[in-house]
Amino acid sequence: MAKKGQLHPLTNAMDTKELLKKVRKIEIKTRRLSDHVFGGEYHSTFKGRGMTFSEVRQYQYGDDVRNIDWNVTARYNQPHIKVFEEERELTLMLMADISGSEFFGTDAQFKNEIITEIVATLAFSAMQNNDKVGILLFTDQIELFVPPKKGKSHILRIIRELLEFTPSSKKTDLSQALKYLSNVIKKKAIVFVLSDFMTQGYKDTLKIVARKHDVTGIRVFDPKEQSMPNLGMVQMLDQETGEALLVDTSSKGVREHYAAYHKQGVAYYQDAFAKSGAGTIACRVDESYVKKLLGYFKTR
C-alpha cells in the first residue's frame, strides 16, 4: 500500500555532480569504520546462521548418536553418521528506500545520504567476512536489483548506484519490495531494510519474509519531521507527489493532524517489526549511526 506523501518546505535537489564526488569520500570513511569497528562485530553477530550437510562417515566413539544416518548404516551394516559444517558464507541483502521523502534534511545531511553511508559500512563489513552482498532499490516499485556478489568493485558499484540512480517514482510500497525480495532470494539471508518507514500495509508480508530471513529495519529520520512548526502560511512540496501546496501552519488542527500522521507511521513500523520477530534500529540524521549499529550488534 503506497503511503500518503509527506509535506516538506521547498528545497533544491542536491546536484548529481556533488554527489558523485562523494563516492571516494564515502568509501574511505565507511571502509575505515568497517575495518576497525564493525568487522568483528558483524562477524560475531551473524556468523554460523545455520548448519549445512558435509558428508557421511563411519561412526566413531564420542559421536552424537542423533546424527546417525540409519539408511547408510543399514546398507553397510555398520553405524555411519551425518557430518554437518557451520555455514561460513552468508548473503547480505540491503533494501534501500529511494522514494521522495528520503531526499529531506534540515541539518547536516539528507536521509538518503545517511542511508548510503550505512549501506556502504554494512557492505564493507560483509566483504571482510567474505560474504556476498546485494542491493534492492525501491519506491512503490522495484527500481533496481543488484544480485549478491563478492568483492570491492561490486561494493563500489552499489555505492555508485545509490548516489547516481534516479528513481522513476517518488512514492513508497514496502510490501511489494519485500515480496520481490522473497521471490529472488531463495537461500536464507541477512536483510537490512533502510527507510523512514512512513508507510503502512506491509505487516503481513514482513512476517512471511522474517520467517525465512534475518531481517532488521533501520529507520532513518529527521527530528524536524515529527512536528510542524508554526510559520504561518507556507508553500510546501509533497515529496512523493511533487504537488506544491499552501499550508496554514498557524492552524493548531493542521499541526496536530500532521503530528498524529507521523506518530501513526512510527507506531506501525515498531509494531510490525516487533510482531514479526525482526530487529529495529532508529537513526536520527543528527546523531551518530555508528553508535546505533554497534549497540545493535552487541545486544544481538
Confidence category of residue 5, pLDDT binned at 50, 70, 90: very low
Pick the range with the lowest mean pLDDT from 97-106, 111-120, 150-159, 213-222: 97-106
Alpha carbons 115 and 42: distance in angstroms, whole number: 18
Per-residue pLDDT, 8: 41
Confidence class for position 238, pLDDT limits 50, 70, 90: low
Cα–Cα distance, 240 to 261 (Å, whole number): 15
Residues above pLDDT 90, as percent of the chain: 47
pLDDT at 180: 98
| Structure-block grid coordinates of residue 56 | 557421511
Evaluate if residue 139 carries a pLDDT over 70.
Answer: yes
What does the pLDDT read at residue 12?
40
Asked whether the predicted pLDDT for residue 86 surpasses 90, the reply is no
Higher pLDDT, 151 or 5: 151
**DSSP SS3 for 143:** strand
Q: What is the pLDDT of residues 9-65, one digit of tens each?
A: 433 444 656 656 777 888 888 888 888 777 678 777 876 555 566 688 898 888 888
Provide φ and ψ at 23, rounded to 5°: -55, -55
CA neighbor of 265 nearest in space, from 211, 202, 176, 206? 202
Q: Can you name the CATH fold of 7-47+87-299? A: Rossmann fold (3.40.50)
HSE-CB for 188 with a 13 A CA cutoff? 15
Mean pLDDT of the chain: 83
Residue 159 has pLDDT above 70, yes or no: yes
Summarize pLDDT for 168-192 with one digit per residue, the tens.
Answer: 998 999 999 999 999 999 988 999 9
- Taking the CB of residue 193, how many other CB atoms lie within 10 A of it? 28
3-class DSSP state of 2: coil
Q: Domain ranges for the chain, please list them.
A: 7-47+87-299, 51-86
Residue at grid coordinates 520481490: 180
Q: What are phi and psi of 145, to 5 degrees?
A: -125, 120
What value, to the nearest 5°, has the Cα angle with vertex 219 and ends 218 and 223? 145
Residue type, 256: E
According to DSSP, residue 62 is labeled: T
Per the model's pLDDT, the better-predicted residue between 195 and 39 turns out to be 195
